[in-house]
Amino acid sequence: MSAPPICPRCDQDQIQRYRFKDDGVVFSLCTECDSFWWPQTATDVANALFLDDVVAARLGEVENPWTNRIWADVIEPASGTG
C-alpha cells in the first residue's frame, strides 16, 4: 500500500526491491546512488552498503565487478512477484 521509501543516502530515488539472478536472494537497492540493503537491516544510512561492494564480494573479485558484466546479468527487479 505504501510507496517505496526514498533513499536516505541520496534523497533522489525510491528504494526498490531487487534480487540476484543466480540464487534469487532479495535485497533493496537505490539505483540512483547504488546503495544496497539486505532485507534484515533497516534501510538507513548506517546500514547502507554499495551494490558494487556486495557484488564484488559475491563474485570473489576485489574492485570493479562491472568490467565484464552489466547489472542485468546479475540482478533483476523483484517487484511484482509476490
Interior angle at CA 13, CA 10 and CA 64, nearest 5: 65
Residue 68 CB, shortest distance to Zn ion, in Å, is: 25
Shortest distance (Å) from residue 33 CB to Zn ion = 3
Q: Which amino acid is at 46?
A: A
Does 15 engage in binding with Zn ion (CB under 5 A)? no
Nearer to Zn ion, 14 or 22 (CB): 14
Strands across the sheet containing 26-30: 49-50, 35-37, 26-30, 16-20, 75-77
Collapsing DSSP to helix, strand or coil, 11 comes out as: coil
Please tell me whether residue 7 binds Zn ion under the rule CB under 5 A. yes
Judged by CB under 5 A, the stretch of 2-10, 17-25, 38-46, 71-79 that binds Zn ion is 2-10
**Residues near Zn ion, by CB under 5 A:** 7, 9-10, 30, 32-33, 35
